[in-house]
Structure 1
Amino acid sequence: MKKLGFLTVLLVLTACGQTPTGPKLPEVDQTQGFSGDLPTGSKVVSEEEFRSKLNEPGAEYYTPEKDKKNAEAAAAKEAADQKTIEDFLNNNDLPELKALLANVPDPKDPSVKPLADGNYELITSDNAEQTLKVITLGQRFKKSELARSIENFPKKDNQLGIYELIYSNLSEVERKEYQLPTLEEMRGSDLRTINAVNSRFQQIYPGLIAGLLDPTKPVGWTDDPTKEQGYLDGSDRTNSAASCSAFKDTGIYKNFEWPLKYYATSVKNQGMRGSCVAFAIVAATEMQYAKANNKWINLSEQAFYNRIANVWQPRTYGDGADTTFIYNTSAAQGHQFALENQWGYNASWSRSNILNASDELIGYNNSCTGYTDSYCSDTAHQSQVLCVKLFGNNFCINLPKPVTPAAPAVVPQGQLELWNHENKDLSIAYMILTLAFKNTVVASLGVMPSWDDANANGFALSQSYNDGKKSRGGHAVQITGFITNSKLREKLPNAPEGEGGGYFIVKNSWGACWKDGGYIYIPFDYMKAYGYSAIRVSVK
């Protein structure tokens, strides 16, 4: 038989879409081509490299047309959220909610800089009296949080879920004392009956929490972040030096116990990205996992926020997310969280916006400055953006870093909406009972001057401090516990009492060198005045 020469073999392999040393490469989808400029932050690669990446996990074609459709979908969603809120206000006389919706930062406030994506750059300071810049979220976030709480709170499944959460944590003696229906009776009741029973918790919750015992440190607990499974040096724990992150001698953390205290993981830092929703959900998930398994883990906010901005609420530029939608979507899809050491967080401290002549956001600069992972780009999601010129057009893909999920799997299970804009006292009762029974809460709220000017021990200032002042934007946080004023007086008689009866213990995402080791204590009335939503989260 006649032998084929090397050149002949090379031509045969090329015709089949192969290289002499590799398998057939996937073909480029020519319908995804576009003309004009490449997206800011993209990297031009060879045809071979581009095609070799097409079948990698998470690879998605980018086109300007997709960007346009995503922007249109986001605008339509914001309009729908606005209508949901307006319809609700037309049917309910709620002047405080109207005021909350209208409360936006003062354009003349030098500490709050409006950004082109509708969010804000807040300039404050940390415990070392160094300037701290953070991104707070704008009206689109506020509207989405208000609309979801308005829609979800009154649903029958949600009301049953709240009742089951509380009822299942009570003793038979307590159930009989307060004449609470069985779960079977409640499941067979109509919504009006369920609401009537649930409303009783507003009056009886003090009795239900009166006998709570201080917890003991669970086996395996550590306050050393390096001992958390998945820890990665730096990344999500910037601005946490020991010199300025110690808990204060006259703060709540160092003096009191609460049911979930020792299941909280280390305080993280979102940096100069509007990724607070990802940080709040991840922190809550880490806590619930620790409670269920006595294992403390550090999950990847970078991978989770990438999923948010690349898939669930896709955009190339601009920050933000819808807390309830994201949690429900991640639960419905069985999302498996990755550990921090799979894809470390990029705080993007040097990131700046690129604007067009109309002051619209069209890109970022320096998002990856100082970040060592090659999977990064000047985008919101920070996937690699790889592009090639073929067939007279541009072709681009977003390529997230391949990550291995944590083992055993960490999977969100679902949430309950606890916030009732028609009865915020009942909402506070639900939050307190949820926390008392070792369920963590993710809250969305407005950042007010009394928040970022909280005293050195982490106590947010009184409501009167906010008189005549404007919001500094929106935020999402994890609430880990609460303390009543009566308990506060036992050890800290000189501490300011929390208006409304006590304080919520909030784990923030602005680094451990902020307020009390990264925690802030907000009065119950702060949440009543500036709360958008509060959800109980759980994991499988």
Structure 2
Amino acid sequence: MKSPAPYVLLLATLLLTVSAQAQNRPILQPVPRVPLQQVPLQLPSALQLRLQTLPSFGAPPPFKALDSATSNRFLNGNTIWLTAPGLEASRQARLQNFSANLARLQPLASQPRIQAVLNAAKLQGLQEPLLQVQTKSGPLTIKLLSADVGASIAARELGQDAEANARVAVTRMAQDMDIDPAVVGQVAQAVPAQRLNTALQLQPSLARMLATRPILQLLPPAGSGNGLDAVPNSCAPASGNLFARADFPMKKNLPAVKNQGGRGTCWAFATISVAETLIRTQYGRRVDLSEQDYVAYSKLKYGSPTDGDGGDPFTWLGLNAQNGYRFAYEKVWEYNQSLSRSATETPPNSGKYNYQNSCGGYPHQDQCEDSVSQAETGCIVTAGKTVCGAQIPTERTSYGIDSSSLKNMWDWNQKDGGLGWSVLALGFGTPVMLLHDARYLQGDTNGFVGDLPYNRATHPVKQADGSTKWEPNTEKDVQWWNHIAMLVGYVSNQRLQEVMPGAPAGPGGGYFIMKNSWGTCWSDGGYIYLSWDWMKKYAGGLYLGTRITN
């Protein structure tokens, strides 16, 4: 009997591996180290049928046929297996979910915040808007989250039961903090000058946590790469500005400010920043985790290599927790800013992107391809039948995610309440992920952002002749969901004058300190200070309760 071709054996082993994983059975051991042509081929009837019916992939993304050595690496590595029907199903599901979410929101269209989502969906579709911001190292073009992300979040958070859900969330948080839920309203109802004092009275230990303390000198974090996610890194918070002068519980545990570059990956940077902070808080260890790995894993598991950059950060956080995701270190897979990359949606409004020049200037070319995940992909091909996979690093940390306590504290009908509880959380050293409209991150030279009017940002309007006119925003044009970053502290106006005399008072009572992912040359070393009243107008979510497992 003629021995089978080596690629047939590799394909059979790969399919058996995928089948075993799908059925939660032990995965087959690697092919023995003997000449492949001496190993007899034995295919079960079900596997023979699968070989006959598996469709091919086509392009893009640029999957490549693998040689024997690379095939073995894919078989024995940390590979996420992909099928053409699965990828197409993911893309179609995105389109279907977008339509379903818009239909769910339509009955609520009279509300300005719902109008904003519907207007953006009509104007943008699945396109990801660009925002140019000024930094000390020159202009930086930021990619914002697309309208389908906003529709997903709005449909979940702004439905008919949103008000009741928010009340449940704040009550549960009170219980988690061992505070009587009956005092929740005290934070919301207190006048601005009394908010922080009211919070301090609720928990005596909180006052001790907010006391002035020296900031520790910290060693480089474990797993640090070469700083590709932080360049340019020539700027730092000014010595006379708020971040340098104020002390707050989370300050000594904060990771470095990073730079998402030309990719719309704010959701990954916010999640990783929270995780790095919590690992320092919970386990006393500074780490530098890989945003590149988190993006690739999320996109490959729940999306497609041709997806856009964005995604619903909180849905994916929960899915990653359920799937037992473990972070990788930055040094294992360094972030690629892709400053020369272009993304063309082909065809328009399809949610399917063709990427070019993703890897320009990236020193690790063997870890980079032209797809949204940028993971190395490859296929084993035989007789027109294809199985493809994408590789992510095998080396993982022991740290994972627990999202079971994740809560959104933003109550649209009682905004002061959500902000008050965020002050408490920050006072306990708990990070808060802020969903907001990044177009209004317009601070003064020291990074302070007051109560900006809606017309400080504009939106495009198509004219009858096909041209585009930019018109000033109103409340219904605010996009509360196009960017996400981490809140790290709160400083009342009273405390502000103590540490920075003459600084402008924050409208509403003080400033929230936000750590962004646009590099250290943006605003004050990468931090910006958002007034209480600014938050009431341009915040769209206050998420806290993420935990780290080890």
**TM-score (structure 2 length as normaliser):** 0.78
State the SS of the aligned residue for 1:488. Answer: helix
Question: Is the aligned partner of 1:384 residue 2:376?
Answer: yes
Cα distance change on mapping 1:47 and 1:294 into 2, 3 Å:
closer
Look up the match of 1:59: 80
For residue 32 of structure 1, report the CA deviation from its aligned partner.
7.0
SS at structure 1 position matched to 2:280: helix
Structure 1 residue 257: deviation in Å?
A: 0.8
Which residue number corresponds to residue 166 of structure 1?
174
Cα shift at 1:526: 2.1
Aligned counterparts, 1:86-485, within 5 A: 86-87=106-107, 89=108, 94-95=111-112, 97-98=113-114, 100-101=116-117, 104=120, 117-128=126-137, 130-150=138-158, 162-169=170-177, 180=180, 198-203=184-189, 206=196, 207-209=198-200, 212-213=207-208, 214-215=210-211, 221-222=216-217, 227-241=220-234, 245-356=235-346, 358=348, 361-373=352-364, 374-393=366-385, 395-407=386-398, 409-414=399-404, 415-448=406-439, 450-451=440-441, 453-464=442-453, 466-467=455-456, 468-469=472-473, 474-485=482-493
Q: Specify which of 488, 497, 511 is matched with residue 505 of structure 2.
A: 497
Question: 2:212, 2:35 → 1: CA distance?
Answer: 61
Indicate conservation of the 8 Å contact 1:117/1:319, yes or no.
Answer: no
Q: Would the aligned equivalents of 2:145 and 2:311 in 1 still touch at CA under 8 Å?
A: no
SS in 2 for 1:269: coil
Instruction: Kindly state the Cα deviation for residue 293 of structure 1 after the two structures are TM-superposed.
Output: 1.8
- With over 3 angstroms needed to count, the CA separation of the structure-2 counterparts of 1:199 and 1:148, relative to structure 1, is farther
Q: 2: CA distance between counterparts of 1:287 and 1:462?
A: 29
Sort the Cα spacing of 1:464 and 1:12 in 2 relative to 1 into closer, same or farther, 3 A.
Answer: closer
Tell whether 2:520 aligns with 1:507: no
1:41 aligns with 62
TM-aligned CA distance change 1:197 to 1:47, over 3 Å: same
CA contact (8 A) 2:163 2:413 kept: no
CA 1:150/1:427 → structure 2, altered by over 3 Å: closer, same or farther? same
Partner amino acid for 2:93? A
2:547 maps to what in 1? 538
8 A Cα contact 1:145 1:533, kept in partner:
no
Distance change >3 Å, CA 208–CA 411, structure 1 → 2: same
Give the 3 Å change call, closer, same or farther, for CA 68–218 of structure 1 in structure 2: farther
State how far apart, in whole Å, the 2-side matches of 1:506 and 1:399 are: 35
Alpha-carbon separation, structure 1, partners of 2:75 and 2:35: 18
1:497 Cα deviation after fit: 2.1
Note if contact 1:100-1:529 (Cα within 8 Å) is conserved in structure 2: no
1:411–1:539 CA contact under 8 A, matched in 2: yes
* Partners of 2:425 and 2:142 in 1: CA distance: 29
SS across alignment from 2:448: coil
Amino acid at match of 2:51: Q
What is the number of equivalent residue pairs in this alignment? 486
Q: Structure 2: which 5+ residue stretches go unaligned?
A: 11-30, 457-471
- What secondary structure is seen at the aligned counterpart in 1 of 2:453? helix
SS at match of 1:148: helix
Whether the aligned pair in 2 keeps the contact of 1:53 and 1:59 (CA below 8 Å) is no
Q: Which residue matches 1:76?
A: 96
State the Cα distance separating 1:381 from its structure 2 match: 1.3
Counterpart of 1:521 in structure 2: which amino acid? Y
RMSD between superposed Cα atoms in Å: 3.4
Name the CA distance, whole Å, in 1 between partners of 2:3 and 2:380.
Answer: 23
Residue deviations 1:336-370 (CA, integer Å, cap 9, x gap)? 21211121111111111245465865411011112
What letter is aligned with 2:97? K
Q: TM-score, normalised by structure 1?
A: 0.80
- Going from structure 1 to structure 2, the CA distance change for 1:471 and 1:422 (only over 3 Å counts) comes to closer
Give secondary structure in 2 for the equivalent of 1:236: coil
Q: Report the CA distance shift for 1:252/1:329 in structure 2 as closer, same or farther (over 3 A).
A: same
Confirm or deny: 8 A CA contact 2:126 2:349 kept in the other structure.
Answer: no
Distance 1:47 1:404 in 2: 23
Worse-superposed segment, 429-438 or 476-485:
429-438
